[in-house]
Structure 1
Amino acid sequence: ERDALGADRYRLGVRDFLGTELDLEETYAWGWEELARIRAEIADEAARILPGEPLPAVLAALDADPAYRITGAESFRKWIQELADRAIADLDGVHFDIPEPLRRIDCRIPPVESGIYYLAPAEDLSRPGTVWWTVEDPSGDIVTWTVPSTMFHEGAPGHHLQLGVTTLNPVLNRFQRVSSELHPGHSEGWGLYAERLMDELGHYRDPAHRLGMLAGGQQLRAARVILDIGMHLELKIPAGTGFHEGERWTPELGFEFLRAHKGPDPDSVVAFEIDRYLGRPGQAIAYKLGEKIWLEAREAARRRDGAAFDLKEFHRRALDLGPMGLDLLRTEMARS
């Protein structure tokens, strides 16, 4: 039995997870273009850190550098708490008007393996918004050069502001306030937009932290666009990519491709990712396609408003809308 679902069933997944319709082959080609752009930026950033060294050597050097290691879970928790606090202080009143209940993110280490994720504040505010960050060895070293972009994605200006503002918004009904997970194109697109926004605002002052953003979330999410559409439609791998050119995608090629773009995860984690893509067609592309819509909406507002464009006002309107599919988001953000 084939793992690929084909174009018709894939379009149903896109409608479900993104709330839009796509030209799938055009989006597949865009994924390759986006990945090439990101990889060129990765090469440039790596050359700033260790000129003349190949990328694997640069990544290994950063992993081994004591300047980018923290020992112990509690020390790491305090460090990410400082990152979160500083981001809110820098953004509030300048690029966002952050409601008082959201001016604090609680950063915690879970007692058991549970990944990295954000939990919105309780509706009655009895519990603050929380970033949970699993540490594999609570007494060992944690590598930090990849961490800031993830904190911006999960915390502020990412999911903490997006989900927090939604939770507090009295204009939205209760279903809207708690349904963000039903719209991953909107929510994960915003998280990826937040990573890039902080780059535009100069918050990756250390080249290693900017490399972490590019080689982590940005590269992986672009690779997912290629993989998800490519595997389900069994598309050909184009010439000039340097990867099995002319062959059609299979889960085995997907594993090899993801292995090269995901970082030092165990093979079991990579295999799980491939199975997830095959079982949830359209979900994996939500991050990059959602980010694309947010960026296009901002650029359209900038063109429409000209010198009067106000980034803080754009963000206010964006977050006040609450969760929705990407077609509706595009329509609502186009209203003057």
Structure 2
Amino acid sequence: VAALRDWMRDVYAPAIEGAPDVVGRERYARWVRYFNGTDLDLDEAYAYGWSEYHRLLGEMRTEAEKILPGAATPWVALAHLDEHGTHIEGVDEVQRWLQSVMDEAIEKLDGTHFDLAERVRRVESRIAPPGSAAAPYYTPPSDDFSRPGCTWLPTMGQTRFPVYDLVSTWYHEGVPGHHLQLAQWKHIAGNLSRYQASVGMVSANAEGWALYAERLMDELGFLTDPERRLGYLDAQMMRAARVIIDIGMHLELTIPEDSPFHPGERWTPELAQEFFGAHSSRPADFVESELTRYLSMPGQAIGYKLGERAWLTGREQARERRGDAFDLKTWHMAALSQGSLGLDDLVDELSQL
């Protein structure tokens, strides 16, 4: 690792000094295929990101008005929640509370919207060890389920945790998100190739399912509390912003004239960082790390929102094809038993279930 660091610093960095930060349309399209499993219409996807931006901004303003009437922006209301919203006090307490969030989801969803094997029902909430990633994450169970699937919360030294940004995150990382998909793959591994169930995972498939899971919980009425729903919408807005920024920046597209942010200007990394900071409740160091991520991994971050769209499209097409015979629980379990697919194949398969 030290030798690689030295090479990056002493050989690679000087060699690319002065090169553009963005990759351009042709290279970007290749990265999109790698991370998403689709030959994407980049201009259509960019327009979709903006349409989601406007939809979500309207919904966020509605929820923000319930929390802090007259707030200049939804993010002012979210900052208010940081200080005055519902909180969990204590590391042990938040660990137990997050476990209860997943336990409740399993009890309410199993038998109604999913049909879960007993070993898939087991998932544990844990506190991430020091040195872990700064964002919450999930680790799947071992092949024999002797080690359960786990969600991990990095505390970053905090002992007071706002609820608004945790609930939908645990629907994403745990139940019905990453855990139900990845644990189901383990459960039916005998019907899948090892490639389908593990190393062949397409990022946009898994992240798209997890974002679909957040939306499903909103559809099912689990996010009626204004604090929790505003937190969910803020997380959705972050994923829409990723589509806008990642595509717009790497292709150096123009910001639409109906945008409230620098209309008519051409995207640069500096504008992207400003835009993300203005449309997120995350701190400045997180925003900076996100821009580094987008510049370093072109086409990866768009997979959350575009993956969610693929799952929703597949569900709607299956519903239209089956009509009154469509059963959401049956569809969910068949969909979660496909193994990983790129987005083009995913939509085709989901629509036939």
Query: Which residue in 2 is equivalent to 1:19?
Result: 37
1:282-297 correspondence to structure 2 within 5 Å = 282-297=299-314
Contact 1:121–1:130 under 8 Å retained in 2: yes
Whole-angstrom distance in 2 between the partners of 1:171 and 1:46: 47
SS at match of 2:336: helix
Contact 2:239–2:304 under 8 Å retained in 1: yes
SS at match of 1:102: coil
> Per-residue deviation at 1:335?
2.3
Query: Which residue in 1 is equivalent to 2:3?
Result: none
1:21-100 correspondence to structure 2 within 5 Å = 21-54=39-72, 55-65=74-84, 68-100=86-118
**Residue type of the partner of 1:258?**
F
1:100-249 correspondence to structure 2 within 5 Å = 100-114=118-132, 115-138=135-158, 140-169=159-188, 170-179=190-199, 182-215=201-234, 217-249=235-267
SS at match of 1:320: coil
**Residue type of the partner of 1:124?**
D
**Residue type of the partner of 2:265?**
E
Whole-angstrom distance in 2 between the partners of 1:264 and 1:14: 26
Whole-angstrom distance in 1 between the partners of 2:80 and 2:186: 42
Contact 2:255–2:262 under 8 Å retained in 1: yes
Contact 1:77–1:108 under 8 Å retained in 2: yes
SS at match of 2:125: strand
Whole-angstrom distance in 2 between the partners of 1:303 and 1:175: 31
**Residue type of the partner of 1:153?**
H
Whole-angstrom distance in 2 between the partners of 1:159 and 1:104: 13
- Per-residue CA deviation, residues 82-104 of structure 1 (Å, 9 max, x unaligned), is 10100000000000001100112
> Per-residue deviation at 1:61?
2.5
Detail structure 1 runs of 4+ shifted over 6 Å in the superposition: none
> Per-residue deviation at 1:220?
0.3
Contact 1:179–1:323 under 8 Å retained in 2: no
Whole-angstrom distance in 2 between the partners of 1:186 and 1:264: 25
Whole-angstrom distance in 2 between the partners of 1:224 and 1:174: 31
**Residue type of the partner of 1:13?**
W
Between the aligned residues of both structures, percent identity stands at 49
> Per-residue deviation at 1:198?
0.2
SS at match of 2:119: helix
SS at match of 1:101: coil
Whole-angstrom distance in 1 between the partners of 2:76 and 2:286: 23
Unmatched tracts of structure 2, length 5 or more: 1-18
Query: Which residue in 2 is equivalent to 1:278?
Result: 295
| TM, length-normalised to structure 1 | 0.95
> Per-residue deviation at 1:143?
1.3
Whole-angstrom distance in 1 between the partners of 2:320 and 2:114: 20
**Residue type of the partner of 1:221?**
R
**Structure-2 change in CA distance of 1:35 and 1:196 (3 Å):** same
**Structure-2 change in CA distance of 1:56 and 1:258 (3 Å):** closer
**Structure-2 change in CA distance of 1:238 and 1:304 (3 Å):** same
**What CA RMSD, in Å, does the superposition of the two structures yield over aligned residues?**
1.3
**Residue type of the partner of 1:164?**
A
Whole-angstrom distance in 2 between the partners of 1:273 and 1:51: 31
Whole-angstrom distance in 2 between the partners of 1:38 and 1:276: 23
Whole-angstrom distance in 2 between the partners of 1:156 and 1:299: 22
Q: How many residues end up aligned between the 2 structures?
A: 331
Whole-angstrom distance in 2 between the partners of 1:176 and 1:9: 26
- Per-residue CA deviation, residues 165-207 of structure 1 (Å, 9 max, x unaligned), is 0111120122222136x40110000000000000000011311
Contact 1:228–1:281 under 8 Å retained in 2: yes
Q: 1:252 aligns with which of 270, 290, 295?
A: 270
**Residue type of the partner of 1:241?**
S
> Per-residue deviation at 1:276?
1.2
- Per-residue CA deviation, residues 243-279 of structure 1 (Å, 9 max, x unaligned), is 111111111111101111232313x332221121111
SS at match of 1:2: coil
Contact 2:75–2:281 under 8 Å retained in 1: no
- Per-residue CA deviation, residues 73-120 of structure 1 (Å, 9 max, x unaligned), is 101101101101000000000000011001121100022142310100
Contact 2:28–2:299 under 8 Å retained in 1: yes
Unmatched tracts of structure 1, length 5 or more: none
| TM, length-normalised to structure 2 | 0.91
